[in-house]
Chains A and B, each alone.
Chain A
Amino acid sequence: MSLAIETEKLTKAYGRKARGIEDVDLAVEEGEVFGFLGPNGAGKTTTVRTLLGFLRPTGGRGQVFGLDIRKDSVEIRARVGNLPGEFTLEDKMTGEGLLKFFARLRGVRDLRYAHEISERLGAELHRPMRRLSRGNKQKIGLVQAMFHRPPLLMLDEPTGGLDPLVQEEFLDIIEEVRDEGRTVFFSSHNLAEVERVCDRVGIIRGGRLAAVETTETLIDKSFRHVVLTFAEDVDPKPFAALSGVRDLRGGGKRISFTLYDNLDEMVKLAAGHRLVNMEYERPSLEEVFLTYYEREDGEVR
């Protein structure tokens, strides 16, 4: 399998005050959906902007479809559909005007696919940007990134501001893109979204690539927030004593805790009482990161 993106010790330093990225080694295979994850300020956007030639790397090297990010930026951008994290357009432009302009810049004459995905996402192409809500602007951002069927899509928080139905439609489109053999590189904070479409994920923290995992592995490493409600008062101590239970709170009829593992024993223990309700929640991706990194650092757990 050849690589869509390959970096070797890619570094971008902004100076003393701001952190960039450092020694990032990344290999994204053609045809995969790759989730690029990390807390805010971790270096996701810097990585993408360096790959696209907006920022000059201060060290290392990078290639997109074998093209050098320093020398071949224009050729790379011809093969990439990009949605920036903060998608903004000139206020007086309409989505239709934008697509026609970008189509001319890219030598695209047929806008049927653009109109097809606009319709699927419910993008309003004929209203000026200043009159559009954040979600509607985001739809236009997605359309402009995808309309020319690029071999590589780079999407920074693509579903931000979209309602759940549109998010679902977008994820369907991403799956179709993968089926066509194209590559998707996207950052997100939405774990469910990452779980559904990403084949692999790269986790960046403090400007360094902490790990590249398959999505299954990442989910397995995560924990769950548990809230148990009983019909009568329950002694919380046996729950607190279970390995894998942390941050136990409450008492009496309702106890809550964070469960890292040992689900089976926890369920059996709860089943010894008359259970009225059990909430079992996925954590946010940010929380998964924290846990993951703490494990990596050997601090706790």
Chain B
Amino acid sequence: MSVVLNRGEKGRRRTARPGWTLFALVSHTVRMQLRGVIIWGAALGLYSAAMVASFTAIEGSADQLNQLMEAYPKGMLEAFGVTDLGDPANYLHSQVFGLAPLALSFFPILALANALAGAEERGTIDVLLGNPLPRWQLVAGTFVAVAVSLLGICAIVGLLTWGTAVLTGVELSLREVAEAVLNLWPICIMFGALALLCSAFFHRRSLAIAIPAFLLFGMYLIDTIGRASEDLEDWRPLSVFYYYGSAIENGMDWAHFGSITLVALALLLLATLVFRRRDIYT
């Protein structure tokens, strides 16, 4: 089959519309991450479900446990968000949702560090960018795909948590659980966006993982120690965990939710600008 091209065909090559290429990239990336979403969702969700189930065991002896807790330094209890172990919301915050960002942030960090620097190291980026895909779309599309996948993980965690509460008769409303898992999203995606920026800047996947991971644990420590020590309390606003709060107990703080999301978007914008201007190495 032979088709001779004329000049017009060479000059006006039909391509997918820009919005369509972005959609194609996002849907493809989400599909590629599906297994990861299920594994992460199941692992965190089952842990959370186990904590809900364990609450039924301590529910009857909550008063004794709270008395026992009073023997601990007040600062230490505050550091870990323990106020009333007889309250399932407080129990779940101290056992699950207060710590969950430390683990769940690694999903977007790993995925977004892989997107640019990882693809350069593996040599796969030339094949992908051999297509008429603008660089900004590669950055933004991957970010959106990871953000959607992260929502999927949160949904699985929420369903397993709430489902277990219903089955075991623990008093947790769907709204409380939904707000708790949704509150994980901005803080985790913010560290993912930082990984994306590092990935755009350094060409090296290891640095794109190490820097956000270091900041993640550093900020967690600042906030945790700041709760326990008055000397370090002034440092807490420097940590994103200060704004994370406890949505399962106090409801969602939409201002903080929006602010952290805006920081993530600012990091995304920076990553896009950096990646647009730099060489791609393989």
Task: Name A's B-contacting residues (CB within 8 A).
Answer: 2, 30, 49, 52, 54-56, 65-66, 74-75, 77-82, 84, 86-90, 92-93, 101-102, 104-107, 113, 116, 141, 144-145, 149-151, 176, 179-182
Structural contact, A84 and B280, CB atoms closer than 8 A: no
Structural contact, A77 and B131, CB atoms closer than 8 A: yes
Interface majority SS (helix, strand, loop, mixed), chain A = loop
Chain B 109-129 near chain A by CB (<8 Å), digits 1 or 0: 000000000000011101101
- Provided the pairs A74-B134, A180-B5 are in contact, do residues A54 and B124 lie with their beta carbons within 8 angstroms? no
Partner of A181 from B4, B14, B132 at Cβ < 8 Å = B4
Q: Which B residues are CB-close (under 8 A) to A86?
A: 123, 282
Structural contact, B279 and A55, CB atoms closer than 8 A: yes
Cα–Cα, bound, A106→B25 (Å): 11
Cα–Cα, bound, A66→B24 (Å): 28
- Shortest C-beta distance, A97 to chain B (Å), equals 9
- Shortest C-beta distance, A76 to chain B (Å), equals 8
Structural contact, A88 and B122, CB atoms closer than 8 A: yes
Structural contact, A105 and B25, CB atoms closer than 8 A: yes
Cα–Cα, bound, A106→B21 (Å): 8
Chain B 255-282 near chain A by CB (<8 Å), digits 1 or 0: 0000000000000000000000111101
Structural contact, B5 and A88, CB atoms closer than 8 A: no
B67 near A: Cβ within 8 Å? no
Q: Which A residues are CB-close (under 8 A) to B132?
A: 74-75, 77-78, 105-106
Give the A-B pair count, Cβ closer than 8 A.
104
Structural contact, A65 and B11, CB atoms closer than 8 A: yes
Partner of B123 from A56, A82, A84 at Cβ < 8 Å = A84
Structural contact, A105 and B21, CB atoms closer than 8 A: yes
Q: Which residue of A lies closest to B11 (CB)?
A: A65
Q: Which of A101, A113, A116 has the most CB of B within 10 A?
A: A101
Q: Which of B3, B6, B10 has the most CB of A within 10 A?
A: B10
Structural contact, B127 and A87, CB atoms closer than 8 A: yes
- Shortest C-beta distance, A259 to chain B (Å), equals 41
Q: Which residue of B lies closest to A45 (CB)?
A: B282
Structural contact, A55 and B124, CB atoms closer than 8 A: no
Q: Which A residues are CB-close (under 8 A) to B7?
A: 2
24 intermolecular pairs with C-beta atoms under 8 Å apart:
A49-B126, A52-B130, A54-B129, A54-B280, A55-B280, A66-B11, A74-B134, A82-B127, A88-B122, A88-B124, A89-B127, A90-B124, A93-B32, A101-B28, A104-B16, A104-B24, A106-B132, A107-B15, A107-B16, A144-B127, A149-B3, A176-B2, A181-B4, A181-B6
Interface size on B, residues (CB 8 A): 37
Q: Which residue of A lies closest to B278 (CB)?
A: A56
Task: Name B's A-contacting residues (CB within 8 A).
Answer: 1-7, 9-11, 13-17, 20-21, 24-25, 28, 32, 122-124, 126-127, 129-134, 277-280, 282
Structural contact, A105 and B133, CB atoms closer than 8 A: yes
Partner of A105 from B5, B24, B122 at Cβ < 8 Å = B24
Structural contact, A104 and B282, CB atoms closer than 8 A: no
Q: Which residue of B lies closest to A82 (CB)?
A: B130
Structural contact, A88 and B123, CB atoms closer than 8 A: yes
Q: Which A residues are CB-close (under 8 A) to B5?
A: 149, 151, 180-182
Structural contact, A74 and B4, CB atoms closer than 8 A: no
Structural contact, B24 and A65, CB atoms closer than 8 A: no
Cα–Cα, bound, A55→B280 (Å): 6
Q: Which B residues are CB-close (under 8 A) to A105?
A: 16, 21, 24-25, 131-133
Q: Which B residues are CB-close (under 8 A) to A79?
A: 10, 13
Structural contact, A78 and B32, CB atoms closer than 8 A: no
Q: Which A residues are CB-close (under 8 A) to B280?
A: 49, 54-55
Q: Which A residues are CB-close (under 8 A) to B133?
A: 74, 77, 105
Q: Which B residues are CB-close (under 8 A) to A141?
A: 127
Extra inter-chain contacts (7) besides given A78-B13, A149-B5, CB under 8 Å: A55-B280, A86-B123, A105-B131, A107-B20, A151-B9, A180-B2, A181-B5
Cα–Cα, bound, A9→B11 (Å): 24
Q: Which A residues are CB-close (under 8 A) to B3?
A: 149, 180
Q: Which B residues are CB-close (under 8 A) to A56?
A: 277-279
- Shortest C-beta distance, B144 to chain A (Å), equals 16
Structural contact, B11 and A77, CB atoms closer than 8 A: no
Cα–Cα, bound, A176→B5 (Å): 12
Q: When A and B form their complex, which 5 residue pairs have the shortest distance between CB atoms, in order from nearest?
A: A107-B16, A82-B130, A78-B132, A104-B24, A151-B10
Q: Which A residues are CB-close (under 8 A) to B126?
A: 49, 54, 82, 84
Structural contact, B282 and A92, CB atoms closer than 8 A: no
Structural contact, A179 and B28, CB atoms closer than 8 A: no
Q: Which residue of A lies closest to B277 (CB)?
A: A56
Partner of B2 from A102, A106, A179 at Cβ < 8 Å = A179
- Provided the pairs A77-B129, A104-B20 are in contact, do residues A89 and B124 lie with their beta carbons within 8 angstroms? yes
